[in-house]
Each structure stands twice: as C-alpha cells, then as structure tokens.
Structure 1
Amino acid sequence: MELLQKWNDRDISWLQFNGRVLEEAAGPEVPLLERINFLAIYSSNLDEFYRVRMPVIKAIGKLEADTRLPVMEEVKELINRQQQRFGAILQEQIIPALRLEKIHLVYHEPIPEGIRATLNAYFFDVLAAYIVLIPLDAEKPAFLENNKLYMLVHLEQHGKGCNYIINIPSDKVPRFLHTSCDGITYVLFIEDIIRIYLDIIFKNAIVKGAYNIKITRDAELNLRDEYAGDIAVKIEEEIQKRDFGLATRLLYPPDLPPALLHTLIDTYGLQGANTTSGGYYHNLKDFFSFPVKPPFLLYPPEPPFSMIPEVASLFDHIAENDFIVHTPYASYDAVLRFFNEAAMRPEVAEVYTTMYRVARDSRIANALIAAARNGKKVTAFVELKARFDEENNIRWAKTMKAAGVKIIYSIPGLKVHAKVALVRVSHQGRLKDYGLFSTGNFNESSARVYTDYILFTARPVLLRELELLFIFLAKRRKPAPEEHGIFNTLLVAQFNLQREFIHRIDTEIMHSREGRKAGITIKLNNLEEEVMIAKLYEASCAGVTVNLIVRGICRIVPGVENLSERIKVKRIVDRYLEHGRIFLFENNGDPQIFLGSADWMNRNLYRRIEVCFPILDPALKNELMTILQMQWEDTAAAVWIGEDARNIPSSGNKNDFRSQREIYLYLKEKYGK
C-alpha cells in the first residue's frame, strides 16, 4: 500500500463528520425541533470550516499543486452534495412536519394576507430603524462584513439599471418573527419582511430582483510566536481585524443572474473566494433561535443528578475517595462548589487553575475573584489564543486581575489546553492538596451539552505533579529538553505524553506477540497525527484489537488487509456532543485507563500543553469501562467509519441501543438522588 493511501484527508474526514450531523436532522426518531437544531449545528460548523480551514486548504494547494488540488475539488463537491441534502431535508421533511403541528415556516413563498397588518407594524416600528442602503456602484464600495446577511437589489431607475446592497439586521433583531392567525403559527425570516417593502424603500424605482447574499472571511489572527509585548493588547488589536479578513466564500441564491454575480465579484474583489450557489436563505445557524418551542417537539427532559452526598465539606469528601462527575448527565454543581468552597473556607491558602474557554457569565471566575478578595493566593492561567473566545477570555482576565488574581497569559508558541485546578488547604500546619482534572473546559455553559469527565482527587501522586505543572506554566516558555522527564504519573504534552502513549501501545504489541491478553480502546474527538496512527497500524499488524470511537476528524484507514485489519472505528452523534477522551489499554488483564484533554492531532501533541491523567481507583476504572462498552455497542446514534472516511450505518434499526440514554440511566441508578 502506498504511503498516501494510509491516511484519509483531514478535511474530507471532518466534512464527513459534519455530514453525520446533518443526517441527525433527517432522523424521524429525533424530535422535530431538535432536527432543526441539528441543521443549525451543521450550518454553524460549515461557516467555521470556511473561516478556518478553507484558507489553509488554499495555501497548501499553492505549495502542493499536484496533490492538494484534487482535495479542493473533492471538498467543493462534498459540500455541494451536503448543501443539496440540507435543502431537501428542510423543504421535504421538516417544513411539512412543522405544518402538521400548525407551525408554518414561510420559506420562499407568498406571505399570507392575514398577517400583513402584523408585518406592516413590525417593519415600520422595528426593522426600518436598521435599514442601510449601499450603492453598488459607489466610488468606494462599503465593506461587506463577515457572515452578515445582505440583500442585493437590482432596480430600474430613471430608465437605467442600478444596484444596491441592503443590510439584513439579524445581528440587531431576531432573525425570525412569529405571529398567529386562524390557529396557525407563522414563522417568517426578516429578510422576507424587508422584501415586501422594497417598493417603499426605493420609492421612485422599479424593483427587478432581490437576492440574499453572504460573505465568509478568513478568521486567522496574525500573531507571531515571538511577540514580546503585551499579548492581551496584541490579540485585542487582531480581533478588531478578524471580520475584515480575506473573503473565503460568497453565498448567493440560485436565481441570481450571472451578470449581477460578476458585478458583485468585481466590485468587492471576490475573485479568490469560493462562489457558491446555495439556497434562498443563508446563516441558517440562526435556527438555534427558532422562536416556537413546544416542549413535546423537543427531547424529553433528562434532569442532571447530583453525584455528591450532602456533606459539610466537599474537600473532606474528596479526601475519602476519588470520584468522577460525568457531564451533562450529572450536575456541574460539584465543580462550582469546589471553587466556591475554595473562595469561602478560611483554611484554603492557595488556588490555581487553567482557563481555556471561560463562560460569558462565569461563576467560576467570580469565585476566583472572591477568593482573591478573601486574602487567598489565587493564580489563573488564561489562554488568550482560544479561537473565537479570545475577546471574552481577555475581558475576564482583566476583571480577575483587577480583583487581585495573579493572571498568567499565553505561552509564546504554545496553547495551554489542559483543564486542571489545584487547591491547597492549610491542615495541621501543613498544606494538603485537592485537585480537579477534566477532559473539558471549566465552563458551566458547555457542561450542559458536552459529555465530559471531571476527576476529583486528593491523591498526592497526582497533585505533586500538578503543582510542578503550575510552576512550569508560570515561566511562560516552552520546556527545555532537560525538563522532559519531570512527569512520571501525569502525561503532559511537550514533556512525556506522546512518548508514554507510544510506550503503552508497544506494551500491548508485546503482550499480543507473546500470546497474552492485549487490546486498545480509545475515544477521541479527532485522530489526525501520523506517528500515532502508524503506531496503531503496527499494533493491528501484531494482532492487537484496536477499537476507536472518533467523533470528528479521523485520518486512520480501518479494515485494510496487512495494515489495519483489526482496527474498527465508530462515530457517535446524538443529543449531546461527545467530548470526553478515554484511553484504555488492556495490559494483560490489568487495564490501564487515562482520561484527558488531548486529541491525537498535530496541534495537541506538538503545539499545546495538554494533560492526560490515570484513573487509579479500581471502582472508577470499572465504571469507565462499562460506559466505554456501552458506547461501543451503540447501534442507534453510532455509525462505522469506512476506509474512505464515509459514514456507514451500524444498524438498520434506528431504535436499537442508544448509548447516551443508557449511560444516563446507568449513572442515575448508581448515583442519582
């Protein structure tokens, strides 16, 4: 097999994942309004792909013209197929199903006369305040912002043609208006309301056509690793420029005349962008805010349950035994209480934490502020380079710093993606440590929808090394070669993480070759890095069974003779976003389990500080193995990933075993109160 055939393309693989998200919108067993939500997720994901990955694909294509050009064509073809599928799901399945529930989404069709009075009032009282007219033939055309909605209007005025751009103010008012008439709830796009009044907006002209358009722009920040100034100031400057990046995509409706398209491209210099004929509406990620939400059309409630007993001190409870909080099935309150008690209890001396994506109204950040004001030594490492969260992280960092929290900013050349916290409590004249190790961000908002694992522990063997990590982070530099051996129990990227994972795969290879029990089961968000994939191929060839659950990018090619015969890969897309990472090594019947923040991608292994941590409690090992087995047995929300990166249904019966539901019931029975 040729080398290039050993790896699926990362962008094609990611698009296949997004296609799997799209198929949830087509699932008749998924509640109707949740299907609309999956359309929004697909659309939001695709926008980010054009902002982040398309510039990279183009740049690589210029360097590797012979190899990357076919990928670009395949990317375009796959996106076009998915967009057609998107339109078919929306128009042929979801809109008719909504109408059966007396919810009428008005979609590229005449607006009922019975609601015209409501629309008239809404246009003149609300929308008209935001309408801006932009002549297309102005000497200096106004800048069209990233992912904003516009309407290109073609007019006949004084016997000649002219063109205007109108902004659609969906960033100022809700995208949808809903109103009721004769027992039917109508939901309208605001651009359709504006369209009705074009004859009034352009009073002395004849409207010949109106077409919705959108431009997506490159989102990369121009940050130099060697930048020596105040990185917060530098990032703030670059954020202001982000929405003014080069255009990567122009979306326009199928009925836009070619001559108008060329005028638009020439006027705004869009020759380098992908010009894509989409549907009649863009920014359908706005379906997140679909305004009509009867509960019976949503997922049935799964109230999170508490995993800790009623105790006077959470720290005393942690001292007794390790435990894991499984979000979103279990309440996130244990994490909030950890930080709140650290702020409130007088015996707490020091608090340390990393912060990657801070919640907008973060109770954790507020607890750190309270801790500092209560006289405790509080240190927070805030990663300012967390894409699309830079501005919010800077805001919180400044607020915490003003309150007395010691803020450590990003390390040049590295992102700190680890999710860890350490609290030091004065106990009988000595400091006793308590820690959190998480697979996901310390973010109470995402904890409602991300499946993650948070380990609470007082084990010195883990917390001594966690203290070493915080000491290193305070230096704000890459580790020197002589520092690579300072961790023995924790696996930390830039120090020992890749080396230790390779060692454990080698151990499974040795066990298999010597006839002992061997096996590897890994759950990741993304699997891209070729060294690790090659090691899994080696394990397969040595007789090791390798089971992988990979949500997103998956470059490994499973099931190929003499390469990956013993490798199988599943993908789960369901009610919650699968986010927790688990690494299970059979180890001849004495299984080793690690959880952590690290995917196996180039960025995670080579350009980030990541932490993976061992599960040392036997009962927690068994709990995680049970959960992992449930996910492997999923036939309702899981698909197989084929050797060409495609999604292959795992069962013809979509009402088969659904792991997320079963995990909730399992944990609730075990811990719920």
Structure 2
Amino acid sequence: MESFRYFNRDISWLTFNERVLMEAANEAVPLMERIRFLSIYSSNLDEFYRVRMPYLQKNAMQDAANNAFLEAEALVNRQLDEFGRILSKSIIPALSRLGFHFLYKEHISESIAAFAKHYFYTQIAGFLQPVYLNDKTSFFPENNQIYIVVVLELPNDREKIAIVNIPVPQLDRFVKIKQPDGEYIIFLEDLIRCNLGALFPDAIDIKAFNIKVTRDAELDLLDEDGEDMAEQVEKQLSKRDFGLATRMLYEPGLPLRHLQYIVNVFDLKKASLVEGGRYHNLKDLSSLPVASPAISYPAWPTAQHLEGFEEPETLFAALTRRDLMVHAPYQTYDTILRFFNEAAIDRSVQEIYTTMYRVAYDSKIAHALITAAKNGKKVTVLVELKARFDEANNIRWAKKMKTAGVKIIHSVNALKVHAKLALAKRKHETHAYLGLLATGNLNEGTARFYTDHILLTAHPAMLKEAEQLFGFLSKKKKPEKIDVMSFEHLLVAQFNLQNRFIELIDREIDHAKSGLPTGITIKLNNLEEEVLINKLYEASNAGIKVNLIVRSICRLVPGVPGQSENIRVKRIVDRYLEHGRVFIFHNNGQPEVFMGSADWMNRNIYRRIEVCFPIYHEDLKQQLIDILSLQWNDTVQAVWIDERLHNVAITANSDGVRSQEAIYQYLTGAVEHIRKTF
C-alpha cells in the first residue's frame, strides 16, 4: 500500500485563521471590515481552545512524540503577535485619523478620568462583585469571561489578592467619550481599573492584571433511549461553562507567585497558561462604536428576480415547470421563505418534512411550520439538538413547534443529522412532491453572509428518496448493515455517499487511462477523510487535473511528485463566508454536477447523515460551473495552499478577478462582462 502524506487537521485549521488575520492586515479592505476580521479571528481562536485544544492536550499526554499540541501553541503565539501588531500599529492609527481615538494601553487624561469616575458611579458600580481570594475561596471563573486580578498592598505590609468581574454583556464593552478634539473609545475594564480605589479604599497600592479562562465545550451525551434527548442536552448545557479549563490567558507583568496562586485557587493545573496581551475577548471588536458606510464594504443589493419564476405565478406552480436555484446571499432568500409559507397555506399540501440544523433566532421558517400544523397539515421536523453552540436555541424552537402540533424528531446521540432538505407532499395527480435541497442551513439569519446554493425541485424520484430518508430518520436509530435503502439520485452518508464519490473519481481515472478528457473540481469547507483524499491522490497519479477550493481544514498535501503533482488547492476569504459544497466531474465532456451538505471530514462521512444531490437542469448546472470557474480564477481574495501548508498570495495583474464580486455581477445580469475576463 502506498504511503501518502497528510497535513495535520488542527494545524491546517489554524492556517485558515491565519488567512482571516491576513484580511485584517490588508489595507485594501475597508477599515471597519478589517476590525471585523480581527473579531472573527479572536472568536475562532476561542472556539479552537474550547473544542480542539482539549483533544490535542490529551494526545500530547498520551504520546510524548506527538508535537501537534506544541506546534499549535507556537503557531497561535506567532499569530497573536501579528494580531497585536495589526491592531496597535495599523488599525488604531487609522481610527485616529478619522477622529476616533481608541485608548489601547494609553494614558488616560484628567478630563477623561473625570468622565470615567462619573460613569463608574452611575453605570458600572452596581454590577461589580469583588471577591478576596484565599485557599477556601469558592469563586469559579466562568468560561471566556474577563476578570481583573487585583494585587493589594495593605497597611502593615499585608498583601491580598482579589478578583473583580467585568460586567459584559450586561454593559457595553466599549464606552464612547466625546471630547473637543474628537471621540475617545475606552474599554469597560479600563474604566473599572481607573476606579479600583473606590472598591478597595484601604489599599496603599493597587496593581491590576486582566485574565480569562477558556473551558472545554464538549457535551457528555449518553446513547440511551430512556432519557429524552432534549432533557439530556439541556442538563449538559447547564454544565458546559463549568467544564475543564483548557487555557488561562493572563496579562504580562503578573508576578509568577501570584500566577501560581491563582492556578491553585481556581484549580487550573491542567490548563495552558498563556501570557497574552492586556485585552482579551477581542471578538467584541465587532461592536466597536465607529460604524460608518465610509469604512464598510459598499452595499451589494440582493437580487430579487429569480430566473424561471415570475409573479403573480406561485412558486409551487413554477416548480412544476422547471427546477430553480437560489444562490445566497447574492439572491433573495425570500424565495426559500416563500416555499415554506406556500406549503403552510396551500390546501393541496398534506404533509411537510424538513431538517433544521441551526435554527434562526426568530425563525420565519419555524413560524411557517407552526402555522402549517395549526392549519391541519402533518408536519414533521428533525431538529438537530447537537449543533454545537446552537443547542439552546434549537431546543427552544423544538418545544415551541411541538406545542403547536409539529411532530419533532431528534437524531440518536451518537449521530448528527446535518442534511439540509425539505419536502412538501401534495394531493396532486402529477406533481405530488415539491422539495428543496441545500448546501447550508435553512436559516434566514446566516443566509445574509454565508454563500450557499439551494435547489428547489419537483423531481419525483429524487424527492421520493428524500421521503424514504425521512421515514428512516423518524425511527431514531443509527444505520446498520441490515438497513438497505436504495438511492439512485441522492448521495446519503452512512449509505452510499462515500462509495458514490469513489465511483465518480474512478470513472475519471478510467477515462484518463483511455486517453479521454478528464477533470475534477471540488469546493468544500473542510477536507480531512483519508479514503477520499487517497482517491484524489490516485486521480492525480493518473494524470487528472484536480482543482480544489477548500476554505478551512485541508489535510491533502498538494504538489508532491508521485502523490499530488496534479492537484492544486485554493482558499478564498472575503466579505461573505464561503460555505457551499459543490462537486464537478468532467465525464468526457458531459459534466456531472453535485451539491450538498457534506464536507469530506471523518465526522461527515462516518458519523452524520449528510445528503448530496445531482443537478439535472442544464441551465442550473452551467450556472454552478460558471460560479466555480469564477472562484477558481480568483486572483484577489484567493490564496494557494502550498505543500508546506502556507497561504501563498496569487500575483494578479490589474484585471484581477475578485470572485464574490464577479459572482454578484454574474447573478445580477452582467454575464457578458464576466465571461470576457477569461
């Protein structure tokens, strides 16, 4: 068996976060958007420490030769240095030039100190609960909350340590202060630090240091039928913020003896101790009160017209004539909302089925499903309760829908349902099924900034297979070898998805051996699973050009002789989060195109129900081929991932292609202009 190389999963993900940081450093990006990229970087890193660092720490303890943990820590430290440089040397000076003076580690003038004192007593003091630390202290630092460690010098050479909470989100993280020479922005914790003497009036000297503790986010769910899934998840959610500490960030200058004392008192012996900057939770930078159209991306109004659908015709009537496709966020998501709204009131609709993985906070789709149930329709919704960090909101909506008469089903504990599909079953002679299948969540909130593709279709055989899958899911069990379901059109993880993709790659390999034209283009969020990676390596060795667009994790190593010399990988980061999954196989000039919910990750292939599906309508198939072509030809926001896992900038001429802008123009009518760029 051939020995192939793979990138480390977690180091690869950290290089994606580094790519986010590159956008924050890019002075061609509007200033507020650069600030948001810093916020995204910080938020991503917090999640990494909650979700992946516990795994890396455990592996490092079990295998001393495993250096991924140390490599990850070193990479994060380098990135944090760059983060601080971008913020202090580039972002803050740029804000000052606009009249926004961001006080970042800077001296506070007397006039601002006077305001700070007034603000402290009128707005902040009532939220502060200082606690003196000792060996019997029961104080528990909450996950990702900022605290001030206060070292107090008291009379008679006594010393005490106290901890003070920073009351966010009860109060805004940033306070704006108007002064004659402009507007000043100050951190809430700095306002508190200015006034610590009011909390500790007996102290002769006060020193203050910010800290933050990050905790493991994993839920410990049991695979038991006796306990309702929602109840079990709710119980675990109440414990999540009390999980094992994985990291403690502390401000430089905190004396070692005090650091060790805090570690002992808070039982942080297994946590990584990271000397960070003075300020933590910089994901809050997205709420910096400097928003202005002049320093944000120019508006791209959503395209309202959808080719193939003309009002006053109903959407359902249009679907009986042809398939439709929505490319969010470039095109209006109202079409998707309309699908559910029409299903709720259409007298011919008798049954509605849908999956919901991340429900919008004020979901119009969920409201339509509730209305449908109250209108006497049979409504079945699979709400995935194990969608990380969305569990509580999903539980809330599941309860609301269940109360209204919607049949709620949940996947078993060891299996997530990540498929994105909906089905309306009608009393109709020729078009009994209408459905939608998507690459992203049925969530109108994230649809504003996630790029996804949603197919709306009346294809009877494909939707009959979807109904069959919903029937299986309602049994609430894991697939077993005896569960034989025949899917001719759908590619369903746990059943035929992996094998079908292998067959499609093998067909390209056979064509290559016969001297026929070949090619594979795949766009994913994450690429990890070794069986499918090995098959792509095999395709490369057969001489097939493989073009991959992989946003985040990529374990495939491109450009290695004898392994992947015909494989190239690009990564795109821009104003929208690239989220669609698309698969194009050349097939000797008769291309086959698939979309779906499945990344090529171990979890997606082996531990989830995922659905991918073919695009049969020739115009829609060409649309996707054109869109992927624009993305592959991006020379502005794309980077190469090289054989060393580096993000390598693409050298562009003056006519460089920025794919998201080009796709927006393409979908809003400027087709000829776009095609001339190739």
> CA offset at residue 320 of structure 1?
1.3
Alignment of 1:390-469 (within 5 A): 390-428=391-429, 432-469=432-469
Q: Report the equivalent of 1:78.
A: 75
Contact kept, 8 Å, 1:637 with 1:654, in 2: the verdict is no
Alignment of 1:29-48 (within 5 A): 29-48=28-47
Measured in 2, the distance between the counterparts of 1:268 and 1:320 equals: 65
Measured in 1, the distance between the counterparts of 2:204 and 2:454 equals: 62
Q: Deviations over 1:565-607 (max 9, x none)?
A: 0000000000000000000000110000000000000000000
Q: Report the equivalent of 1:93.
A: 90
Q: Deviations over 1:433-485 (max 9, x none)?
A: 10010100001110000000000101112111111111111111122324344
Unpaired stretches in structure 1, ≥5 consecutive residues: none
Measured in 2, the distance between the counterparts of 1:643 and 1:507 equals: 27
Measured in 1, the distance between the counterparts of 2:222 and 2:46 equals: 25
Alignment of 1:224-373 (within 5 A): 224-226=222-224, 228-306=226-304, 307=306, 308-373=309-374
Q: Report the equivalent of 2:643.
A: 643
Q: Does 1:194 align with 2:192?
A: yes
> CA offset at residue 121 of structure 1?
2.9
> CA offset at residue 112 of structure 1?
3.1
Question: Among residues 172, 189, 203, which one is paired with 2:170 in the alignment?
Answer: 172
> CA offset at residue 183 of structure 1?
4.5
Q: Report the equivalent of 1:564.
A: 564
Letter in 2 for 1:666: Y
TM score, norm. by length of structure 1? 0.97
Measured in 2, the distance between the counterparts of 1:526 and 1:234 equals: 29
> CA offset at residue 140 of structure 1?
2.7
Q: Report the equivalent of 1:592.
A: 592
Measured in 2, the distance between the counterparts of 1:179 and 1:655 equals: 44
TM score, norm. by length of structure 2? 0.96
**Structure 1 range deviating more: 111-120 or 273-282:** 111-120
> CA offset at residue 118 of structure 1?
3.4
Q: Deviations over 1:483-524 (max 9, x none)?
A: 344211100000100000000000000001110011110000
Question: Among residues 132, 143, 150, which one is paired with 1:135 in the alignment?
Answer: 132
Contact kept, 8 Å, 2:333 with 2:444, in 1: the verdict is yes
Measured in 1, the distance between the counterparts of 2:121 and 2:567 equals: 62
> CA offset at residue 157 of structure 1?
1.6
SS in 1 for 2:58: helix
Measured in 2, the distance between the counterparts of 1:402 and 1:233 equals: 16
Measured in 2, the distance between the counterparts of 1:444 and 1:654 equals: 36
**Structure 1 range deviating more: 489-498 or 419-428:** 419-428
Letter in 1 for 2:32: L
Q: Report the equivalent of 2:152.
A: 155
Structure 2 CA distance for partners of 1:570 and 1:313, relative to 1, 3 Å: same
Letter in 1 for 2:332: S
Q: Deviations over 1:343-371 (max 9, x none)?
A: 12222211110000001111110110011
Q: Report the equivalent of 2:674.
A: none
Measured in 2, the distance between the counterparts of 1:82 and 1:518 equals: 40
Contact kept, 8 Å, 1:595 with 1:615, in 2: the verdict is yes
> CA offset at residue 272 of structure 1?
1.1
> CA offset at residue 64 of structure 1?
3.0
Contact kept, 8 Å, 1:155 with 1:162, in 2: the verdict is yes
Measured in 1, the distance between the counterparts of 2:135 and 2:182 equals: 44
**Structure 1 range deviating more: 443-452 or 339-348:** 339-348
SS in 1 for 2:588: helix
Measured in 2, the distance between the counterparts of 1:31 and 1:152 equals: 36
Q: Report the equivalent of 1:28.
A: 27
Contact kept, 8 Å, 1:555 with 1:645, in 2: the verdict is no
Measured in 2, the distance between the counterparts of 1:480 and 1:270 equals: 42
Q: Deviations over 1:640-660 (max 9, x none)?
A: 001121111112669821000
Measured in 1, the distance between the counterparts of 2:112 and 2:460 equals: 68
Measured in 1, the distance between the counterparts of 2:416 and 2:286 equals: 30
SS in 2 for 1:422: strand
Measured in 2, the distance between the counterparts of 1:126 and 1:88 equals: 32
**Structure 1 range deviating more: 652-661 or 282-291:** 652-661
Measured in 1, the distance between the counterparts of 2:225 and 2:471 equals: 22
> CA offset at residue 100 of structure 1?
0.7
Percent sequence identity over aligned pairs: 54
SS in 1 for 2:330: coil
What do you get for the CA RMSD once the two structures are aligned?
1.5
Q: Deviations over 1:108-166 (max 9, x none)?
A: 11123333443233211111111011112151330000000100000012321111000
Letter in 2 for 1:447: A
Measured in 2, the distance between the counterparts of 1:590 and 1:332 equals: 31
> CA offset at residue 63 of structure 1?
3.2
Letter in 2 for 1:664: Y
Measured in 1, the distance between the counterparts of 2:670 and 2:46 equals: 41
Q: Report the equivalent of 1:120.
A: 117
Measured in 2, the distance between the counterparts of 1:339 and 1:534 equals: 41
SS in 2 for 1:65: coil
Q: Deviations over 1:375-433 (max 9, x none)?
A: 111110011111111111011000000000000112232100000000112225x7711
SS in 1 for 2:488: coil
Contact kept, 8 Å, 1:227 with 1:412, in 2: the verdict is no
Letter in 2 for 1:414: L
Contact kept, 8 Å, 1:439 with 1:580, in 2: the verdict is yes
Q: Does 1:493 align with 2:493?
A: yes
Q: Deviations over 1:312-371 (max 9, x none)?
A: 311001111111100111111001111111112222211110000001111110110011
Contact kept, 8 Å, 2:411 with 2:473, in 1: the verdict is no
Unpaired stretches in structure 2, ≥5 consecutive residues: 672-678
SS in 2 for 1:39: helix
Contact kept, 8 Å, 1:311 with 1:317, in 2: the verdict is no
**How many equivalent residue pairs?**
667
Contact kept, 8 Å, 2:137 with 2:265, in 1: the verdict is no
